[in-house]
Structure 1
Amino acid sequence: MRSRSSDPLDLVLTAAVERIRTAVVEVAASNPVVLIDGRSGAGKSSLAARLIASWPLHAPVQLLALDSVYPGWDGLERGSELVRTEVLVPHGRDRIGIWRRWDWEHHTEAEAHAVDPALGLIVEGCGALTPASAALADVTVWVDGPAGSRRNRALERDGEVFRANWDRWAAQEEAHIDRHDPQGLATVTVTTP
């Protein structure tokens, strides 16, 4: 899948998808787990969407975005742990995992969603990649880029609500990076412009 775009972000994401697709195929599993971690605005969601669109296996892949699980603006670490214990561990044991969507408007858990252990799984979001979760994954990805570019993309996407919480969230990202070294756990590293 070659891109004819001259957009630097598009070029980087296109190349990254090819590297991840190759890694997924090399795993030779019918239900591989791909973890995509990185800072806000780095391009994790865009990368995950592109990977889903060009998933290299015949069976479909499931997506779990940590944004759907974090229990509020102070929930990065808790969301990461919930996904590990309630989704990744069961998936690795060929059992159905269950996660509950966080209702950001009402500040409470909402409906439950099942994760089929027979299918591949992409988990995308800051906090996805820790030593404990990496042990349950087949392909691990770290995405990062310049702070200014990341901030502009994130605020363009999420607007004023995120602007008011940017520093609060960035502090949790830094704590996650300092504690878990997700970049060091990654088998694929992506640097966006």
Structure 2
Amino acid sequence: MPSEALPDPHADTCAVAGEVAERVLAAPPTLGSGRLVCVDGPAGSGKTTFAAALAAVAPGAHVVHCDELLHGWRGLPGLARTVRELLEPLARGERGRWRRWDWAADDWAETHPVEPGGLLVLEGVGCWSPAIAPLVGVLVWVEAESSLRLRRGMARDGEQMRPQWEQWRIDEDALFARLGTRSRADRVVVTG
């Protein structure tokens, strides 16, 4: 399916989220009896904001922020496996689980259950991969200009995190180039 760019992202985030919700909820289930939307794209692009808008227009949606599934700043290569391990039981109609990474403690923390059925929204860099593609009802790619994304990251995490952000940007660029995530998106949302 061809990607569609959003002409006025600020004015229409809720409208686009509504379109995505309508589309995925009208389609047959892809995740057992449930449905799955992946909101992917580079760090600082607005994925969390879009996922929140989607959850607001799809009551009962369960949002999992994939930055909580990463094994720290260098955890991106292992994320696809972690996501697959969350989704495989759900696809069988069983409860899924994920373990939260505690960024402050630099260690794994508590485990969270995800019940089968309903709408699951995975949000975060690298949340989509070819391994889960058959389970995804809609893949949304969110992007913004590179310097804006970096400014957003520094505003959120602090200037002391610039070295981690710079390495992260290299890692995510390599991942997206290898997977071709943007070209596989059902919807492209550009923020600015």
Fold shared by both chains (TM-score > 0.5): yes
Query: Equivalent residue for 1:63?
Result: 63
Give the alignment partner of residue 33 of structure 1, picking from 36, 40, 57: 36
SS in structure 1 opposite 2:105?
coil
Q: Could you tell me how far apart the structure 2 residues matched to 1:185 and 1:52 are?
A: 22
Amino acid in structure 1 at the alignment position of 2:56: A
CA contact (8 A) 1:34 1:137 kept: yes
Matches within 5 A, 1:81-120: 81-84=81-84, 86-120=85-119
Q: Matches of residues 132-143 of structure 1 in structure 2 within 5 Å?
A: 132-143=131-142
Counterpart-to-counterpart distance in 1, 2:156 and 2:138: 27
Partner of 1:44: 47
Q: One-letter code of the match for 1:149? A: L
Does the CA-based 8 Å contact 2:9-2:189 persist in structure 1? no
Which segment drifts farther, 145-154 or 169-178? 145-154
1:162 Cα offset (Å): 3.4
Q: Distance in 1 between matches of 2:137 and 2:182?
A: 15
For structure 2, the 5+ residue unaligned runs are 1-7
Q: Give, in whole Å, the separation in 2 of the partners of 1:184 and 1:146.
A: 17
Amino acid at match of 2:89: P
State the SS of the aligned residue for 2:120: strand
Identify the range of structure 1 (160-169 vs 179-188) with the bigger mean alpha-carbon deviation. 160-169
CA distance in 2 between counterparts of 1:133 and 1:22 reads 21
Asked if residue 14 in structure 1 is aligned to residue 14 in structure 2, the reply is yes
Counting matched residue pairs gives 182
Shift of 1:78: 0.9
Backbone CA RMSD of aligned residues: 1.7
Larger RCO of the pair (alpha carbons < 8 Å, separation 6+): 2
Does the 8 Å contact 1:130/1:185 carry over to 2? no
Identify the residue that residue 3 of structure 1 maps to in structure 2: none
Aligned-pair CA distance for 1:178: 1.3
Aligned-partner Cα distance in 2 for 1:154–1:12: 23
Name the SS of the counterpart of 1:48 in structure 2.
helix
CA offsets 1:111-146 (integer angstroms, 9 cap, x no match)? 000111122200000111111122211111111121
Q: Report % sequence identity.
A: 35
Would you identify which runs of 4 or more consecutive aligned residues in structure 1 move more than 3 Å? none
Question: 1:82-127 deviations in whole A, cap 9, x for unaligned?
Answer: 012x211211111111110011122211100011112220000011
> Could you tell me how far 1:15 is from its partner in structure 2?
3.6
Offset at 1:9?
A: 4.8
Query: Separation in 2 of the partners of 1:136 and 1:67?
Result: 20
Any gaps of 5 or more consecutive residues in structure 1?
1-7
